[in-house]
Structure 1
Amino acid sequence: MSTAVAEPTASGTNPDAILNEKTLLTTTTRKAGDASSEMGASSIDSKSIREADPKSPSAEPAGPVKRPLTNPAPNCNPTPRAPLTADQQAKYKEVLATVSAWTEIPTTSSKNAPNSPITEDERLWLTRECILRYLRATKWHTTAASKRLMETLVWRREYGIAGFTADYISPENVTGKQVIFGFDNEGRPCLYLNPNKQNTKQSERQIHHLVFMLERVIELMAPGQETEALLINFKESSARSNPSVGTGKHVLNILQNHYPERLGRALITHLPWYVTTFFKLISPFIDPVTKSKMKFNEPLTDHVPASQLIKTSGGDVDFVYDHEVYWPALNALCDQRRREYRERWESAGKHIGESEVYLKGGDEGSVGVELKVEATE
């Protein structure tokens, strides 16, 4: 079923009209020997961030941090993946050949749904790492991986992801019930889920909200990073603010089927009895790999540097959610990342199977170079 949403406006979505990435806050680190560090828990505010990074805007007022951080702390990098084996490389090439031959796909998941041409956005989505994530999720079964890739492309069309604009989602996040802020010890972007800040009644738009934020998290991943960290805090939440079992199953279906291999860590804290019951009810629907990534009531500083962690979660950053500041800043940053990502894809030749490391500005060239070499051999 297609989703009708509000048309985008200039507010909150145009990086040139709001802020560009150079005017956003960057990551901070504690200085060795700093007196505040010796005293124990220190507080990082916008002033200390500005002093730690001379490139930060001088116009940024002193006081609590209200914008997202843009980069992980130094030395917080993803664990490099092992090189593909010869068999895995052959299976990747098989799936790449399959998806490269797609010229049109169904408009919906309904039986006998009409097809329409595959779009450039959909071709861009089919990166090398995307194909490999689906191969890993299907245990390197090429037919299953191709089938699931097609199903996700159809789902993205049918669910209307392209229409989930910042303006449409904005009412859901007025209270800051979902916040993308900081990066964990392995450089994963952190998405905070705060059920106690629930401000809307249960609706499909609440799920659209989560999907929208997942898409933004992906855009903020550094080159070589493919996973995210979820920080779910149930402190002061009520039974009414938590999703139903049906909604929980629906969200799990989306995450497991259409965002495979994206969860790096789920850090869940302050579980009341009714949330424990909720997890028991949906546990049979959570795959074993996902379960292994879920950590309950562990100190968040074991997983996230204090200089990247919000103070109310045990970190040092004095962050305050101000929707009028945070929301346009987040979307301006993501708009810029998305625009640069696409520009690199277009300049390299618009290849299906392009490298995400290259697209994100990393130290890896376009696959177009490899294709030219193969063509001359």
Structure 2
Amino acid sequence: MATENDEKKVYTAAPIPPAPVEDDPRKNLTEQEAQMYQTVLDHFSNPEFVIPHVDNGQLTEEEKFWLSRECLLRYLRATKWVVDKAIERLNVTLKWRREFGLYDHVTASHVEPEAVTGKEILYGYDVQGRPAFYMIPSRQNTDGAERQIQFAVWMLERSFDVMGPGVESIDLMINFADRAKNPSLGTARAVLHILQEHYPERLGLALIINVPFLVNAFFKLITPFIDPITRAKMKFNPAPVADGIFKPELLMREWWNGDVDFSYEHAKYWPALVAMCDENKRQWMAKWRAMGATVGLSEWKYKGGKTVSGDVGVAPLTEKVQANQEVVEVPQGEALAA
């Protein structure tokens, strides 16, 4: 028989909250930045473009969708607005995404054996609307490094599927309590390399609690491999609510002192997360197609971000795309998840 406490428990990921802003949060680009962006956009929009050093290098629909306006700008910012470096890094990531198997091999069914203990969970959002990605090493249930890495990347990709308009980064919530296993140096370095090389501008904060002596020593070992910008985002033993990072109603109670009594039950959590992410992606891609299905379309637009002061800083659209855009525009905060 279910108790009152059971009825208050939460077993599934939270739906996307309304956009935390009332307008497109992207700042105006300077004239020079706009020219740099246009150069990158023209490069990947060229009908003759192929991904270097891969077979059948023409861009697929999924790859064009990934090459959003915000994506191009993330790589430009990450390379300090050096156009050639931004293009080179984007080429490398496009090649890596294919070789890693993000579009075919690394699927929900493939990584599910890694998920059954709830060692990685997406739940809730910080005050800036960034999804919280919880990692609990003590729940490690497998030995093979390859699929562990694939699972971490799959979950990272799903965090983007639960981001509202205007949000581009995540909060990593790492809890080393309950006799956490010390992750292997090789696996940690592999995940760190992927995050730094292929997901620039995607880490908002890394909040790390209950760090035992051995893990602390481990962090000291990998610190030389962490770039200074990423190191600055790492906070050890924070107080997320008191520090103003999270509101308690969107933060787990256990270990993190939020209000949410979350309990991981795989049969309840996993299918709901997969379905929510699939539906969000389906809706966004439908809107993206209606906008023209081209490289450089805005995540803010196809995710339903409300614009109240015009398209400031947005590259001009063709009349056809503008007409299509009118059809798909939706109010801010439209429910994208069941």
Are residue 137 (structure 1) and residue 78 (structure 2) matched?
A: yes
Q: Which moved more, 1:64-73 or 1:85-94?
A: 64-73
Question: Which residue does the alignment assign to 1:123?
Answer: 64
SS at the partner of 2:13? Answer: coil
Kindly tell me: are residues 134 and 348 of structure 1, through their superposed partners in 2, closer, same or farther at Cα, counting changes over 3 Å?
same
Are the aligned partners of 2:253 and 2:261 in contact in 1 as well (CA < 8 Å)? Answer: yes
Amino acid at match of 1:300: P
The CA RMSD measured in Å over matched residues stands at 2.6
Amino acid at match of 2:317: E
Kindly tell me: are residues 195 and 153 of structure 1, through their superposed partners in 2, closer, same or farther at Cα, counting changes over 3 Å?
same
Kindly tell me: are residues 79 and 314 of structure 1, through their superposed partners in 2, closer, same or farther at Cα, counting changes over 3 Å?
farther
Q: Distance in 1 between matches of 2:203 and 2:187?
A: 19
Task: Give the one of 259, 284, 289 matched to 1:346.
Answer: 289
What pairs with 1:226-237 in structure 2 (closer than 5 Å)?
A: 226-237=168-179
Question: Which residue does the alignment assign to 1:268?
Answer: 208
SS at the partner of 1:206? Answer: helix
Are the aligned partners of 1:127 and 1:354 in contact in 2 as well (CA < 8 Å)? Answer: yes
Question: Which residue does the alignment assign to 1:284?
Answer: 224
Question: Which residue does the alignment assign to 1:223?
Answer: 165
Task: Give the one of 362, 366, 371 matched to 2:318.
Answer: 371
Q: Distance in 1 between matches of 2:235 and 2:53?
A: 39
Amino acid at match of 2:139: K
Are residue 153 (structure 1) and residue 100 (structure 2) matched?
A: no
Percent of aligned pairs with the same residue?
45
Are residue 103 (structure 1) and residue 49 (structure 2) matched?
A: yes
Are residue 80 (structure 1) and residue 22 (structure 2) matched?
A: no
Offset of 1:100 from its aligned partner? Answer: 1.1
Are the aligned partners of 2:43 and 2:49 in contact in 1 as well (CA < 8 Å)? Answer: no
SS at the partner of 1:191? Answer: strand
What pairs with 1:1-377 in structure 2 (closer than 5 Å)?
A: 62-72=7-17, 80-101=25-46, 103-106=49-52, 108=54, 114-162=55-103, 163-238=105-180, 241-301=181-241, 302=243, 303-312=245-254, 313-364=256-307, 370-372=317-319
Are the aligned partners of 1:78 and 1:188 in contact in 2 as well (CA < 8 Å)? Answer: no
Q: Distance in 2 between matches of 1:78 and 1:271?
A: 39
Q: Which has the larger radius of gyration?
A: 1
Q: Distance in 2 between matches of 1:47 and 1:88?
A: 56
TM-score of the superposed pair, with normalisation by structure 1: 0.77
Unmatched segments (≥5 aa) in structure 1 = 1-45, 49-60, 109-113
Aligned length: 311
Are the aligned partners of 2:19 and 2:165 in contact in 1 as well (CA < 8 Å)? Answer: no
Q: Distance in 1 between matches of 2:290 and 2:321?
A: 20
TM-score of the superposed pair, with normalisation by structure 2: 0.86
Unmatched segments (≥5 aa) in structure 2 = 323-338
Amino acid at match of 2:29: L
